[in-house]
Amino acid sequence: MSSALGMAHFTAALVAMALGGVLVCERKGTPTHRMIGVGYVLAMLVVNVTALCLYRLTGRFGPFHALALVSLAIVIGGIAATLLRRERWLHTHYTAWPGPMSGY
């Protein structure tokens, strides 16, 4: 890693992967799940924002930037479902996709 931004991106990605793995195995709906979920969301926000700021590889917007935007939308969709608690919110939280008849 030659830059602080790259190191932040790499570190946040490792944290997000570790926390995501724990979340998949953790019992859902518990205070521990919520606390780890907040850490995961924060780590993913750092991963995606730093990814959008990194241009050293190509010098321009590229496919990894596009994937960061998709990832950011999925993270926001998953967390919005838990905060808004609309119809079928749990399905949306799991998939970050409203699905049929969801009210979104």
Question: Is residue 30 within a helix (H) or strand (E), and if so which, with residue range?
Answer: none
For 47-95, the pLDDT digits (tens) are: 999 998 887 667 778 788 889 999 998 888 888 888 888 888 878 777 7
CB 76 within 8 A of CB 38: no
Domain extent listing, the chain: 4-95
Q: What is the dihedral of CA 18, 20, 26, 30, to 10 degrees?
A: 120
Q: pTM, whole model, 2 decimals?
A: 0.81
Checking if the pLDDT of 29 tops 50, the result is yes
Distance CA 84, CA 5 (A): 33
- Are the CB atoms for 77 and 97 separated by under 8 Å? yes
